[in-house]
Amino acid sequence: MKKIAVLTSGGDSPGMNAAVMEVSRFAALAGMPLIGIKRGFNGLIGKFRPQDSYTEMSMDLALDIADLPGTYLRTARCEEFVLPEYQEMAVNFLRKMNVVGLVVIGGDGSFQGAHAMSKLGMPCIGIPGTIDNDLEYSETSLGFDTAVNVCVDAVRAIRATSRSHDRPALVEVMGRNCGDIAMATAMSTGSEIVVVPEVQNWDIQDVVNRLDSLIRRGNTRATIIVAEGAYKTMKPFDFNAFLEPYTQVFEGEAMNARRMGHVLRYKTASQVRSNVIGYIQRGHEPTAKDASFAFEAAHMAIELLKNGIGNEVIGLKNGRIFHMPLDKALKIKPQFNKEVYELINSL
Ligand code: ADP
Ligand code: F6P
């Protein structure tokens, strides 16, 4: 019997399990059994024992995992998958199992793997799964909405203590190269300052000036949202030289939330406190928005594979689900929303 396979790859994101469950339901409707591939592309190249590499996805199992954060199928890097011999091995493995199509849930790296396998004759469909929302072709990806909601809850909780003590708060959110989580969090919480990796050579002195001006205008508990990737794109700042007169120095170490908080604290003479939200952003059950995207994306993926169509990715535009060629999607350059960035920082 012709089968479908599904795998999750890259960083886990809320909604991956929901998508696997929906793929399972729509595959069953199409009369095609589903194989769950474990640990990303590793499960296709014989790296682990068979029981650690793949599993039959029973409906009972799929329904059990649907609401859970993380990914039941596990996820892992598979560095050798850039090599054609491993991609061929993966396609042969799937063919031997009677698999006629693979759903790859992940980010741009995972989509490269899916593209390579599609070119070798195994139809693959990509569903975007990353909290960072760094795939430009789609306005959202599984987990982004959930991660933003986690950040909004956290900022509101941090605000309670900021407000009580008249202290500004610096809050670091995730986003390796993309400031979408930071911008959406800032907008949804009325945060006064946002710092993102898309702005090259941003100056910490500008953040200080802005915070100073807010304090002078009577706002003693402003919130500064910083995307973790932004430290890489800041104008060089000698943190060690700066702190020397004040306290202990940590030679040769990069900027981070705690240090940035110190700089703001000393330069504005306010009691700035730093917070890093971290992995909690990946650890919640998916919001309704992420879960309904999983539903529609899974349906479209199975419809395509049922008709032998591969090398496509699923996305959302103006709230509507769509698909497009994988290689075209990967070529779309990220567009930074400078207007929103300036608006947040202007109030
Ligand atoms: P994401 O999918 O979230 O971008 P990664 O960049 O870590 O995450 O990529 C996930 C996996 O995708 C890698 O570990 C590797 O197995 C596979 N991959 C990444 N780049 C390529 C590539 N150029 N060709 C084939 N496979 C790739
Ligand atoms: O899922 C994307 C992301 O959350 C990035 O924002 C972050 O830099 C990265 O994953 C960290 O993931 P890990 O620590 O698992 O490599």
- Condensed to tens digits (0 to 9), the pLDDT of residues 102-159 reads 999 999 999 999 999 999 999 999 999 999 999 999 999 999 999 999 999 999 999 9
The ligand 1 atom at the shortest distance from the C-alpha of residue 76 is: 14
Judged by its nearest atom, the ligand closest to the C-alpha of residue 76 is 1
Q: What is the pLDDT of residue 247?
A: 47
Alpha carbon distances (Å) from 311 to 37, 159, 253, 304: 18, 46, 43, 10
The DSSP bridge pattern shows strands 99-106 and 3-8 to be parallel
Q: Which of 110, 132, 145, 151 to mutate to test the pocket of ligand 2 (most atoms within 8 A of CB)?
A: 132
Q: By alpha-carbon position, which residue is closest to atom 15 of ligand 2? A: 11
Q: Residue 292 — pLDDT band, cuts 50, 70, 90?
A: very high
- Cβ of 176 below 6 Å from ligand 2: yes
Quick one: which of 199, 202, 144 has its CA closest to 173?
Answer: 144
pLDDT digits 0-9 by tens, 152-206: 999 999 999 999 999 999 999 999 999 999 999 999 999 999 999 999 999 999 9
Question: The tokens 């700066």 sit on which residue?
Answer: 242
Domains in the chain with CATH codes: 3-143+286-331 (3.40.50.450), 145-282 (3.40.50.460)
pLDDT at 253 over 70: no
- Cβ of 54 below 6 Å from ligand 1: no
Question: How far is the C-alpha of 275 from the C-alpha of 55, rounded, in Å?
Answer: 40
* Global pTM value: 0.95
Cβ of 198: how many Cβ atoms within 10 Å? 22
Query: How remote is the CA of residue 99 from the centroid of ligand 1, in Å?
Result: 22
Query: How remote is the CA of residue 280 from the centroid of ligand 1, in Å?
Result: 23
∠256-259-261 over CA atoms, to 5°? 105
Q: What is the pLDDT of residue 255?
A: 86
Judged by its nearest atom, the ligand closest to the C-alpha of residue 179 is 2
